[in-house]
Amino acid sequence: MFLEQDFADVLNNDDDDDDDDDDEDEKEKQGMRWREDDAGRLTRFDFSRQGLATMFSSEQEARLQATRGEKIADGHKNTHVDRDRRWGWGAWSGGLSRGGPRLSELRPWLSRGVAGAAGGAGSPGGGGGGGGAEKGGRVRCSRRICVLFGSLALVFLTSLFFSISLRGGVSFNYLEPPGWEESRRVKLVPSYAGAQRLSAPDAQQQKTCACPRCVGDPGVSDWFDENFDPDISPVWTRDNIELLSDVYYWWVMLQPQFKPHSLQQVLLKLFQVIPGRSPYGSWDPARCLRCAVVGNSGNLRGAGYGPTIDGHNYIMRINLAPTVGYEEDAGSHTTHHFMYPESAKNLAANVSFVLVPFKTLDLVWITSALSTGQIRFTYAPVKQFLRVDKDKVQVFNPAFFKYIHDHWTRHHGRYPSTGMLVLFFALHVCDEVNVFGFGADSRGNWHHYWEQNRYSGEFRKTGVHDADYEAQIIQQLAKAEKITVFPGK
């Protein structure tokens, strides 16, 4: 202990040398020594054997406790700094300390040193306080790391969700192509291939039909042979119900819709109402199937093509295409009528209704129009019920749609016109194809033959279809002797 009063008495009696000598002798006899501590005060120490042992033991213990307390305090102070260094985030509360301990140096103290210092320190304000601070630092560290990893996990799951959605995941059923995994594994089949194969003729066999000129005859035009694919079916059936992913995503974006529909379920319901089979066979050298593709151009008016059109095996018409009152120029017979929901009309019992779908809702509509009548509106009012022969209803294959867009119109326009779709439909099911009512009239007008307004054909300037490029395709087909064009008036 410190003897402050004794020290004051000694300072006040400097002149009394004898008393000092006696006191010093007495202290030496008692084994005591005076020593000045760090604060400048004199402290009496016991230098006897027992006193020295006690002093060294107490001083060593105090020094060890002080060292542990400093390490704990430094570890608590620099934990966030080392965490910043490790993660590269910069300081959270102040600048970085070059002399701070590393996280690896603090791990022994975090595991056992803190508990030992807190329990071994004599005062609750020393090591115990450091242990509490370190525990709080560990809790804050754990919370921040949890927040970090939670954020990373959220970002990963979000990106995975959108990736699966774009690839046809289960989140958006109406964007899920049926049989995604199976279709993705098919690598050798073209993206526009249908399941039904219309066998191509042998290269050595020049005649594929009994007509004077046959569509399927090879070697007549290299351009036509390079682009023509006889393996693809123009009709969507039970056999080719699955679409490859590139076809599906291109098709659903023609007229985007936001009401979810599962394409596979819609088709399965549709094929319970209609046959879902293709009535067209493969090439037959003994057959001559002549087809007339009748457009709606005003050049039909006054042309007198009616009897010629009616003389074909198949007579294909598009959208409204009235015949009553126009029999002399446009004919009176019809075997195939190509329409979409917004242009549909009732047909005679012997006419095949060919639906040209631009969206899944069109398939829902035809199922409804032939049964319950629930659908009355798509993007425009549609017929609630449709009077047609169910056994003759066919659906235009979206894979065939994209095949025309890729191989023939070459992406001119957003998608091919309905007239081009019908023309290539005929080229794939007929032996001889004759074209009526396509293009402008002799005065350059693009109107319909039943309309008096010669400006009604301004649709060709909208950019949806490239009418000029499609006209060039028709000219090339005629030059290749694959079709015959009747120009009209």
Q: What is the mean pLDDT of residues 340-352?
A: 94
Instruction: Average the pLDDT over each of 91-95, 401-405, 447-451, 466-470 and give the range with the smallest value.
Output: 91-95
**Higher per-residue pLDDT: 53 or 336:** 336
Count other C-beta atoms under 10 Å from residue 67's C-beta.
Answer: 11
Helices (H), 30-48: none
To the nearest 10 degrees (0 to 180), the angle between helices 263-270 and 360-369 is: 30
pLDDT at residue 57, rounded to an integer: 55
pLDDT at residue 386, rounded to an integer: 95
What does the pLDDT look like over 354-394, one tens digit per residue? 999 999 999 999 999 999 999 998 888 999 999 999 999 99
Domains of the chain (ranges; CATH) run 4-119 (no CATH), 173-486 (3.90.1480.20)
What does the pLDDT look like over 114-163, one tens digit per residue? 444 444 444 444 444 444 444 444 555 577 888 888 888 888 887 766 55
Residues classed as catalytic: 415, 465
Q: What is the mean pLDDT of residues 31-42?
A: 50
> What 3-state class would DSSP assign to 15?
coil
Quote the DSSP letter at residue 295.
-
What does the pLDDT look like over 437-453, one tens digit per residue? 998 777 777 788 998 76
DSSP H or E segment with residue 36: strand 32-36
**Residues in Cβ contact with 401 at an 8 Å cutoff, skipping those fewer than 6 apart:** 251, 415, 416, 421
* CA-to-CA separations, 60 to 53, 56, 74, 123, 235, in angstroms, rounded: 11, 6, 21, 17, 96
Residue 196: which pLDDT band, with cuts at 50, 70 and 90? very low
Which residues does residue 434 pair with via DSSP β-bridges, in sequence order? 292, 484
Q: What is the mean pLDDT of residues 418-430?
A: 97
Is the pLDDT at 59 greater than 70, yes or no?
no
Does the pTM of the predicted model rise above 0.95? no
The answer to whether 341 touches 378, Cβ cutoff 8 Å, is: yes
Is the pLDDT at 47 greater than 80, yes or no?
no
- Give the span between the Cα atoms of 31 and 15, in whole angstroms: 25
